[in-house]
């Protein structure tokens, strides 16, 4: 083997050993030389770098070629090697110094784009944070864009003439078809006055009240806007921060601009107007266009509407009042709220003192001015006026302002069906001519699937009588309230054939005595029969069984307002001591008709701006107020009165169409009701008679009817409305009775024949037969004596013991037949003599067992609701 081959192999071996022993060599550790079998001394070892250089360096190669390796040479080479090596610590220090020098010499990474994003040379996450260059660049672009946008809007915005301002477009209301016009809002009354004819006291008051910095600002007040923003964010009373100039501009847009661009145009127009017009001209234009309420635009019309005088003749107190109503004309009108009107008037006076327009003594000498009565707009005359007023009321409830309604030029589509409304008005016109002048009727017809009001009668003429008898007038409910007890019983597990004591009179705990008409004993009857005949004693017992609070809770859950007058948890609430409105009861019965789903009644379908964009659209909100199966069984029970009970006259009128509902007559005939429904529509009818002092009087009989009960005129009105409105519509059946899963009482079985008929059960026969003829004239007298004497003795002994066993027998025999016979005859049944159908109402006990507590013995617990 040649020296060169050995050298090459040696070098390879050293390289291999350098790899395996790198850790120790890196630490500067030397190996002691060792002798091989070849007898040659090993080459000196150093770091991997020295090993490589020794293998490739020219000196070492020459030595290997010569092959002359003497001990001296080896010693000399070994002696020179340490001169090129350093200690471990020194070497490490040198490496660190070199690294530091390298870092110092490292160049910063260049940005790859103008904005330097992501930031070059930065490590995550810093490379994703915008650089200062990017932030500055973005801000510069925003400023440039803003300036360009402002320049475009400024050049694009023109200052209109005063005649273009707030000659407000009239809002029009349509029936549900969207084509038949119902009426209009605000016939615009506006008269312009020259600037020098507008009195100074008005100008001074409006500046003090609306914009104290008017003469200093440039049409827009940044400070005012900022102050209003801070106040609104802090939850204070909402402020707008608008100057008088901006308010003037808003008259032009009349609420149509709600976008940021639109608001920006308003601000730009205010700036341009302030540059082009004098302050006095701006103020005069403002006072000629602003809406003051009562249909008046401008100070001249407002002066006439409030004080019946020209603006030039206004006193300081009158001028302050006109200015005070500007923020909310309807709210601050003294006729609507004298206390609030006085408060805002005083605020204007105080601000005038602060602006030194008035002295303190002059302010104290001012007295609140008297205003004239507002004249009702002719557009609200007749029966449609009530509909328009209801539309306005609902718009305000949805957030519209009076000013917006009167000047917005909206197209408002109501839910009122024109044909149903015509049928409603005609039904009232069909009442007999001898109807008393102060007899009042309210009706409402509702679609149970949506809650939409399809027809409403609030009175004959809104101008002469502004109170809506369908939505505002209240009257005692009478027996229509028994429906809530019925539903509560079904929910609590009592089936329709559960049995209850229908004998009369009956005294309950606490001394509460309840009578049926003529003290008729019905024996033990099913819940369904008690509903059909509206048996007072049976429902009184049921109400005490489930708890009067359940009746109250059910009424509220079905939609009756909790604050309804007379709505308490007293035992007598089942007899209708509460006083709801007709619309409230219509909404509640619509919940039953809709299978237990409650929907709020509403009259506005949609509102559209003049440009065709949508301003409002009603959204139906549903709540499952009770189980559908409970609603089904309640409907089954409520089909009794229109078929066999007090409202059975509807069978001919409705031509066999299925109807469910309940009549009601309050104490001493002070009110009379019928609320009923088919699967398609619900209609509620209420009748009452207010006295001169507004108190509820006893209904004066008319039309040949002696006793004013729910089964009389209210049922007739209901039939006229519904029969005409459903003409041509499909006959739909109600669902059949279902067995509820929650029933806790066993379903009853037919009672066995009695072994001995109890004496009291024989009494109803003579009582019912004589009522055939006497019910016309003598109904007054027979109801007095028979109810006193005959009912007292029998009810004492037999009702206590026999009512448990024997009364079951007669309930199948005498009760079923007599209750059918009297309902067809003139025995106190309402269709013939005003007694509502089953012989229990001629004396105020609605023929269906409700009515006057004097006759029924139910005075206790209801007398306080007279």
Token pair listed for 802: 């026999």
Contacts of 584 (CB under 8 A, 6+ apart): 559, 560, 561, 564
Cα–Cα nearest to 323, from 205, 213, 244: 205
Q: What is the DSSP letter of 622?
A: E
Token pair listed for 92: 């490490």
Annotated catalytic residue within 221, 479, 775, 779 = 479
DSSP, collapsed to helix, strand or coil, labels residue 14 as helix
Helices (H) and strands (E) in the chain — how many of each? 35, 19
| Cβ(822)–Cβ(764) below 8 Å | no
CB burial of residue 804 (10 Å; 0-12, 13-18, 19+): exposed
State the CB neighbour count (10 A cutoff) for residue 702. 16
Contacts of 791 (CB under 8 A, 6+ apart): 504, 505, 515, 518, 519
Cα–Cα nearest to 471, from 604, 304, 586: 586
Q: How far is CA 685 from the centre of its chain?
A: 26
CB burial of residue 165 (10 Å; 0-12, 13-18, 19+): buried
Q: Is 479 a catalytic residue?
A: yes
Annotated catalytic residue within 192, 210, 301, 830 = 210
State the Cα–Cα distance between residues 189 and 195, nearest whole angstrom: 19
State the Cα–Cα distance between residues 788 and 805, nearest whole angstrom: 26
Cα–Cα nearest to 363, from 347, 376, 350, 354: 350
Find residue 508's DSSP bridge partners: 512
State the Cα–Cα distance between residues 392 and 395, nearest whole angstrom: 5
Find residue 622's DSSP bridge partners: 599
Q: Is 534 a catalytic residue?
A: no
State the Cα–Cα distance between residues 640 and 529, nearest whole angstrom: 8
User: Helical H runs in 413-506?
Assistant: 418-429, 482-491
For the residues of 682-734, what is the DSSP string, one character each? EEEEEEE-B-TTSPBPPPPP-TT-SS--TTTHHHHHHHHHHHHHTTTSPP-PP
Catalytic site positions: 210, 479
């Amino acid at each position: 083997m040649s020296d060169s081959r050995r050298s090459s192999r040696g070098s390879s071996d050293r390289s291999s050993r350098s790899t395996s022993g790198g850790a120790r060599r890196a630490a500067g550790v030397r190996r002691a030389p060792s002798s091989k079998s070849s007898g040659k001394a090993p080459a000196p070892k150093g770091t991997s770098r020295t090993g490589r250089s020794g293998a490739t360096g020219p000196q070492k190669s020459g030595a290997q070629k010569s092959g002359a390796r003497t001990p001296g040479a080896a010693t000399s080479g070994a002696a020179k090697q340490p001169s090129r090596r350093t200690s471990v610590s020194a070497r490490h220090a040198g490496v660190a110094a070199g690294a530091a020098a390298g870092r110092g010499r490292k160049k910063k990474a260049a940005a790859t784009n103008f904005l330097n994003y992501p930031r070059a040379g930065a490590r995550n996450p810093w490379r994703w944070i915008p650089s200062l260059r990017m932030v500055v660049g973005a801000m510069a672009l925003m400023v440039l864009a803003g300036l360009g946008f402002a320049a475009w809007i400024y050049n694009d915005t023109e200052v209109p003439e005063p005649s273009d301002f707030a000659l407000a477009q009239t809002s029009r209301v349509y029936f549900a078809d969207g084509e038949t016009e119902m009426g209009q809002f605000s016939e615009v009354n506006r008269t312009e006055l020259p600037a020098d004819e507008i009195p100074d006291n008005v100008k001074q008051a409006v500046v003090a009240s609306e914009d104290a910095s008017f003469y200093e600002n440039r049409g827009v007040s940044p400070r005012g806007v900022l102050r209003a923003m801070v106040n609104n964010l802090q939850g204070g009373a909402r402020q707008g921060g608008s100057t008088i100039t901006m308010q003037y501009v808003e008259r032009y847009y009349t609420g149509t601009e709600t976008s940021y661009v639109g608001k920006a145009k308003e601000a730009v127009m205010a700036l341009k107007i302030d540059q082009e017009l004098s302050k006095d001209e701006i103020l005069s234009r403002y006072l000629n266009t602003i809406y003051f309420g009562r249909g008046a635009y401008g100070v001249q019309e407002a002066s006439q509407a409030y004080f019946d005088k020209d603006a030039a003749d206004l006193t300081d107190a009158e001028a302050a009042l006109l200015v005070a109503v500007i923020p909310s004309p309807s709210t601050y009108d003294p006729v609507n709220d004298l206390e609030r009107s006085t408060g805002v008037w005083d605020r204007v006076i105080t601000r005038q003192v602060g602006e030194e327009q008035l002295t303190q003594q002059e302010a104290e000498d001012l007295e609140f001015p008297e205003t004239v009565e507002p004249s009702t707009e002719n557009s609200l005359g007749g029966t449609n006026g009530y509909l328009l007023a209801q539309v306005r009321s609902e718009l305000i409830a949805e957030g519209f302002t009076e000013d917006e309604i009167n000047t917005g030029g909206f197209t408002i589509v109501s839910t009122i069906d024109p044909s149903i409304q015509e049928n409603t008005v005609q039904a009232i016109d069909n009442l007999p001519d001898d109807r008393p002048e102060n007899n009042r009727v309210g009706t409402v017809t509702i679609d149970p699937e949506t809650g939409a009001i399809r027809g409403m009668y609030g009175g004959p003429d809104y101008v002469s009588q502004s109170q809506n008898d369908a939505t505002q007038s209240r009257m005692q409910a009478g027996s229509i309230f028994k429906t809530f007890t019925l539903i509560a019983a079904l929910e609590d597990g009592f089936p329709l054939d559960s049995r209850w004591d229908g004998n009369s009179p009956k005294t309950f705990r606490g001394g509460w005595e309840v009578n049926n008409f003529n003290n008729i004993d019905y024996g033990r009857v099913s819940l369904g029969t008690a509903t059909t005949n509206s048996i007072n004693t049976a429902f009184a017992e049921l109400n005490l069984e489930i708890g009067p609070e359940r009746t109250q809770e059910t009424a509220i859950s079905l939609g009756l307002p909790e604050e309804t007058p007379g709505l308490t948890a007293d035992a007598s609430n089942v007899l209708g001591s509460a006083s709801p409105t007709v619309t409230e009861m219509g909404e509640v019965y619509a919940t039953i008709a809709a299978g237990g789903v409650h929907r709020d009644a509403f009259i506005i379908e949609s509102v559209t701006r003049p440009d065709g964009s949508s301003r409002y659209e009603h959204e139906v909100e549903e709540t499952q107020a009770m189980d559908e199966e409970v609603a089904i069984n309640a409907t089954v029970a409520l089909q009794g009165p229109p078929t066999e009970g007090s409202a059975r006259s509807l069978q001919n009128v409705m031509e066999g169409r299925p109807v469910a509902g309940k009549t009601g007559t309050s104490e001493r005939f002070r009110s009379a009701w019928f609320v009923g429904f088919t699967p398609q529509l619900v209609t509620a009818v209420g009748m009452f008679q207010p006295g001169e002092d507004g108190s509820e009087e006893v209904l004066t009989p008319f039309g040949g009817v002696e006793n004013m009960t729910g089964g009389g005129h209210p049922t007739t009105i209901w039939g006229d409305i519904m029969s005409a409105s459903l003409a041509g519509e499909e006959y739909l059946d109600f669902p059949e009775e279902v067995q509820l899963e929650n029933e806790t009482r066993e379903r009853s079985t037919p009672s066995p024949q009695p072994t001995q008929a109890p004496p009291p059960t024989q009494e109803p026969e003579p009582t019912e037969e004589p009522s055939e003829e006497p019910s016309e004239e003598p109904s007054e007298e027979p109801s007095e004596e028979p109810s006193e004497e005959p009912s007292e003795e029998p009810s004492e002994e037999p009702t206590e013991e026999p009512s448990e066993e024997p009364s079951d027998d007669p309930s199948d025999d005498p009760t079923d037949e007599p209750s059918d016979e009297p309902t067809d005859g003139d025995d106190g049944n309402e269709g013939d003599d005003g007694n509502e159908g089953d012989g229990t109402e001629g004396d105020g006990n609605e023929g269906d067992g409700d009515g006057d507590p004097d006759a029924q013995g139910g005075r206790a617990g209801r007398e306080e609701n007279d």
